[in-house]
Amino acid sequence: MAMMHPRVAHNYLKDGYYPTDDKTLEGISHLLFVPPGHYRAIDPCCGEGHALRFLRDKCQQPIHCYGVELDKDRAITAQTQLDNVLNVNTFDCIVSSNSMSFLFLNPPYGDVVTDHLGKVEKGMNRLEVQFTRRCLGMLKREGVMALVIPFTSLQPAFCQYLARSLGDITVYAAATDRFKQVVIMGVRRDMSGEHHRLERERHQRLLVTIGRGENIAPPLPEQPMTSYRLPVIPNTPFRFEVIQPDKVLLNQVFTAHQGLWHRFDSLFMQASHYTMPRPLRKLSPWHLSLALAAGQISGHVVSNDGQRQLLVKDGTKKVQRMTTSVDESGLTTTKIDQFVPTIRAIDITPGDNFGNIVVIQ
């Protein structure tokens, strides 16, 4: 787990929000090829949702767009631009692996505080690096990523990670040089095998030289090149949810869906339409165990004379009994599984015993 330094978090939330400019976004759109099909795209730092909305409009295809945004006001705005937005830290949500066709990532930059002990490789303990590692798995294999970061973030360890995790890497200079940003385009692909060694080394060398300033990235194309084809995604359910929702989010969900109360009768009143018949004879221990396991001896129980009341919770557990015998072959130990019914109850009879726990086994 990675956490933002408080100073960096403050800048990110307030003054440090810098959306990607339209000219850079237009250059990225020239690289994408989106034939008819079902697609999903995600921006884990979506701000007001402009970037994905811009790219979807340029591609002229009905791409389902998802966003994650930490700032509440920006998240509200993004909900009007994208299909679904989570107002949460990217590290506090779950997005199914291999569920996205396209990942657009313009993460915040800065040092992180990590709870992992041990030595961290130089250049990997950065917020933009942690965001990339956290979000890349959301992409389907052969899915396309557009990563917008300062070229100085391309430290050797990070370059090695990108070259091992992405194929068909190309690097372009962003349209504005305010933050010395570059746009790294790539396809999610396992490049760790020996048969990818030459391509992997070439990509790593390209990234390292750009990070050192020895190589200048070319500008983004001004005309469509359709270099990267988005993979079609099956139209099946996937996880896009908050791990630890706050009170405001829970209230919104229960208000929208009325909780479980609209299904109260079907979920909780089934037993009211069923009358349990009396047994023909006294229950044996085996019958009692079955009744316990079936949940038929639970709830409010009153004795025949009405003098005692118990709140009962039943259950059955399996235990192993060991028996030892001696025969011609020597000492033999046998383990036998047994089901032991157990009744736990709270005495709710008014008086001195009120609240006592009763265990019958």
**Shared domain check, 166 and 67:** yes
Whole-angstrom distance, CA of residue 349 vs CA of residue 221: 82
Same domain, 319 and 206: no
Residue 4 pLDDT: 43
| pLDDT band per the 50, 70, 90 thresholds, residue 295 | low
264 within domain boundaries: no
Could you tell me if residue 57 is inside a domain? yes
- Tell whether the model's pLDDT for residue 122 goes beyond 80: no
Give the torsion through C-alpha atoms of 103, 104, 105, 106, to 10 deg: 180
**261 has pLDDT over 70:** no
Residue 63 lies in a domain: yes
92 and 212 assigned to the same domain = yes
Question: Looking at per-residue confidence, does 318 or 128 come out higher?
Answer: 128
pLDDT of residue 5: 43
The DSSP-derived string for 164-189 is: HHEEEEEEEE-S--TT-EEEEEEEE-
pLDDT at position 356: 85
> Residues 245, 292: one domain?
no
Structural domain harbouring 126: 2-256
- Are 233 and 39 a contacting pair, CB within 8 Å? yes
pLDDT higher than threshold 50 for residue 3: no
Cα separation, 26 vs 23, in Å, equals: 5
pLDDT value at 11 more than 60: no
Confirm whether 228 is domain-assigned: yes
Q: pLDDT per residue over 184-209, tens digit each?
A: 999 999 998 888 999 999 999 999 99
Residue 321, pLDDT above cutoff 90: no
Specify the pLDDT at position 1: 34
What are the tens digits of pLDDT across the range 44-64?
Answer: 999 999 999 999 999 888 899
Whether 99 has a pLDDT exceeding 90, the answer reads yes
pLDDT digit string (tens) for 148-178? 999 999 999 999 999 999 999 999 999 887 7
Mean pLDDT confidence for 206-213: 94
At residue 339, what are phi and psi to the nearest 5 degrees? Answer: -100, 120
> Is residue 269 one of the residues assigned to a domain?
no
Q: Say if 277 falls within a structural domain.
A: no
Within a domain: 331: yes
287, 252: one domain: no
**Residue of 265 and 46 predicted with greater confidence:** 46
- Percent of the chain at pLDDT > 90 equals 46
Domain match, 54 and 183 both:
yes
**What's the length of the chain?**
361
Q: Give the total number of structural domains in the chain.
A: 2
Q: What percent of the chain has pLDDT over 70?
A: 82
User: Which sign, positive or negative, has the C-alpha torsion 63, 226, 145, 25?
Assistant: negative
182 and 327 together in one domain:
no
Question: What is the average per-residue pLDDT within 21-50?
Answer: 94
Instruction: Assess whether 301 and 225 both reside in one domain.
Output: no
- 143 and 214 both lie in a single domain: yes
The confidence band for 287, taking pLDDT boundaries of 50, 70 and 90, is confident
92 phi, psi to nearest 5 deg: -115, 25
Same domain, 111 and 179: yes
Q: Is the pLDDT of residue 250 over 80?
A: no
* Same domain? 8 vs 112: yes
pTM for the model: 0.66
8 confidence band (pLDDT: 50, 70, 90):
very low
Q: What mean pLDDT comes out for the span 122-128? A: 75
Query: What CATH code is carried by the domain that includes residue 243?
Result: 3.40.50.150
Section 348-355 average pLDDT: 84
Of the residues 256, 271, 293, the one at which a domain ends: 256
**How confident is residue 294, by pLDDT bands cut at 50, 70 and 90?**
low
Torsion of CA 191, 195, 198, 203, to 10 degrees: -10
Residue 101 lies in a domain: yes
| 102 and 48 part of one domain | yes
